[in-house]
């Protein structure tokens, strides 16, 4: 891309707008601004121009502001729709070049023309930013005092932003779904999203999933707490704003499909949980007559549950193991005495689940998680025994895989 050609032909620099849709109304809630240039070979993206560090910042900033000014000029046309947002993607280096003075003066100019600043969402893009992150965050917080909303971008492929999210407390967290194309990275992304969703809930932030290009990515975004969606699967960027209800029927239909699927999955989980409760209750009623010691009990249970489990153990209500582990290795059960008296109360939801079992007088099935010892994706069925002790049955991946809705 010839930088000089662009700088001397700013009339042919203009914005494209990609609609962003909401999960609650299935409507357009905003548009992200992208820079475009009409060259001899057609319309091209200005992304490479803005990312080219060989071009001086002042030149990139000039072109960036041409795009933004034209975007704001067009945004005035829908100023009456007060709930529509304009997402402005600013490179961190360009934002810090003049401490955002030119950016702020420009949007303040358009505030006087009817665009309230709480409709502006500033995205900080920090792909190659080498400056002081604390200074950048101070600047973002300063801009927020004007009512501007803050979004943190690229959370799908950056692993070091969790501290920043807590410090900056953005209004919107953008998650890149490009990584979901590979099965290996999908599992990692799911783990990151779990942490992100908890943090977003605590700080009152909204999750926006971008680069949605296929149906399964949209379903993934919906299932993982995404309120806003963006990507070619929904709508391409274009010069004009679209009818806000352009995807309403399609999104409603997709949402209904996802709801139906999740309800079936929950029903399957409930059915498995009920069957385990019934199976263990019947077994223990028979065996309790013999008053088995716990180590003998888990040995007998391991044979009874040989096709579904790979590990069993018993804990008291405070998380201390009252039995050893019995663990299946190479299709043989071995007793691991080193686990006796270990405490597991530090595990997430452990005490919460104990209280639930104690009150409901029945066992419960855990969510999916990665087993520390084997690395496999598993679930655990927990079951209340006599007095204040509890049986834990780790279900094998093979068992989960063979049953629809358990993975």
Inter-CA distances, 78 with 14, 29, 100, 115, 242, Å: 18, 12, 25, 9, 11
pLDDT at 223 over 60: yes
Q: What is the pLDDT of residue 375?
A: 87
Residue 154 confidence class, pLDDT cut points 50, 70, 90: low
Q: What is the pLDDT of residue 160?
A: 53
pLDDT at 251 over 90: yes
Q: How far apart are CA 326 and CA 369, in angstroms?
A: 20
Residue 157 confidence class, pLDDT cut points 50, 70, 90: very low
* CATH class of the domain comprising 3-235+247-260: alpha beta
pLDDT at 161 over 80: no
Q: How far apart are CA 195 and CA 205, in angstroms?
A: 13
Taking residues 156-165, report their average pLDDT.
Answer: 62
* φ and ψ of 233, to 5 deg: -60, -30
Which pair of tokens denotes residue 92? 């961190």
Mean pLDDT score across all residues of the chain: 91
Highest mean pLDDT among 64-78, 117-131, 393-407: 64-78
Q: Write the pLDDT tens digit of every residue in 328-368.
A: 999 999 999 999 999 999 998 899 999 999 999 999 999 98
Cβ-based neighbour number of residue 115 at 10 Å: 21
Q: Write the pLDDT tens digit of every residue in 13-26.
A: 999 999 999 999 99
pLDDT at 185 over 80: no
Q: What is the pLDDT of residue 143?
A: 96
Q: Write the pLDDT tens digit of every residue in 278-332.
A: 999 999 887 665 557 899 999 999 999 999 999 999 999 999 999 999 999 999 9
**Do 170 and 227 meet the contact criterion of CB atoms below 8 Å apart?**
no
Q: What is the pLDDT of residue 193?
A: 80
Residues of each domain in the chain carrying CATH 3.30.450.20? 283-401
Rounded to 10°, the helix 215-223/248-287 angle is 60
Residue 125 confidence class, pLDDT cut points 50, 70, 90: confident
Q: Write the pLDDT tens digit of every residue in 164-180.
A: 787 888 999 999 888 76
pLDDT at 156 over 50: no
Q: What is the pLDDT of residue 186?
A: 62
Residues of each domain in the chain carrying CATH 3.20.20.450? 3-235+247-260
The residue that leads in pLDDT, 354 or 197, is 354
**Do 171 and 142 meet the contact criterion of CB atoms below 8 Å apart?**
no
* φ and ψ of 10, to 5 deg: -70, -15
Q: What is the pLDDT of residue 155?
A: 54
- As to burial, measured by CB atoms within 10 angstroms (0-12 exposed, 13-18 middle, 19+ buried), residue 325 is buried
Q: Write the pLDDT tens digit of every residue in 39-77.
A: 888 999 999 999 888 999 999 999 999 999 999 999 999
What topology is assigned to 283-401 in CATH? Beta-Lactamase (3.30.450)
The residues, ordered by sequence, that sit 6+ positions from 285 with a Cβ below 8 Å of its Cβ are none
Q: Write the pLDDT tens digit of every residue in 259-269.
A: 999 999 999 99
Q: What is the pLDDT of residue 407?
A: 83
pLDDT at 187 over 80: no
């Amino acid at each position: 891309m010839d930088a000089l050609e662009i700088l001397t032909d700013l009339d042919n620099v203009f914005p494209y707008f990609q609609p962003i849709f909401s999960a609650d109304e299935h409507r357009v809630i905003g548009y992200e601004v992208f820079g475009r240039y009409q060259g001899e070979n057609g319309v091209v993206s200005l992304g490479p121009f803005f990312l080219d560090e060989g071009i001086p910042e002042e030149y990139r900033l000039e072109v960036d502001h041409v795009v933004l000014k034209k975007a704001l000029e067009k945004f005035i046309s829908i100023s009456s729709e007060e709930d529509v947002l304009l997402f402005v993607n600013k490179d961190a280096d360009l934002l810090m070049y003049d401490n955002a003075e030119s950016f702020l003066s420009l949007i303040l100019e358009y505030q006087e023309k009817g665009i309230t600043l709480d409709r502006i969402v500033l995205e900080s893009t920090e792909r190659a930013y080498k400056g002081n992150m604390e200074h950048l965050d101070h600047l973002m917080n300063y801009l927020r005092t004007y009512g501007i909303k803050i979004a943190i971008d690229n959370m799908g492929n950056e692993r070091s932003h969790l501290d920043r999210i807590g410090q900056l407390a953005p209004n919107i967290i953008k998650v890149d779904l490009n990584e979901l194309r590979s099965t290996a990275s999908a599992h990692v992304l799911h783990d990151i999203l779990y942490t992100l969703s908890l943090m977003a809930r605590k700080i009152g932030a909204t999750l926006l999933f971008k680069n949605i290009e296929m149906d399964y990515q949209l379903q993934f975004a919906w299932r993982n707490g995404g309120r806003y969606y963006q990507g070619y699967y929904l709508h391409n960027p274009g010069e004009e704003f679209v009818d806000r209800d352009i995807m309403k029927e399609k999104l409603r239909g997709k949402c209904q499909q996802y709801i139906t699927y999740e309800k079936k999955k929950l029903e399957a989980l409930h059915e498995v949980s009920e069957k385990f409760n019934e199976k263990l209750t019947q077994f223990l009623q028979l065996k309790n007559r013999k008053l088995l010691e716990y180590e003998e009990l888990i040995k007998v249970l391991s044979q009874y549950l040989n096709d579904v489990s790979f590990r069993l153990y018993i804990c008291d209500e405070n998380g201390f193991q009252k039995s050893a582990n019995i663990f299946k290795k190479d299709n043989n059960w071995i007793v691991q005495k080193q686990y006796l008296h270990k405490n597991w109360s530090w595990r997430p939801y452990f005490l919460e689940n104990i209280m639930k079992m104690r009150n409901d007088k029945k066992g419960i099935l855990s969510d999916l998680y990665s087993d520390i010892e084997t690395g496999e994706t598993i679930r655990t069925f927990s079951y209340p025994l006599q007095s204040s002790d509890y049986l834990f049955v780790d279900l094998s991946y093979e068992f989960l895989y063979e049953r629809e809705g358990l993975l």
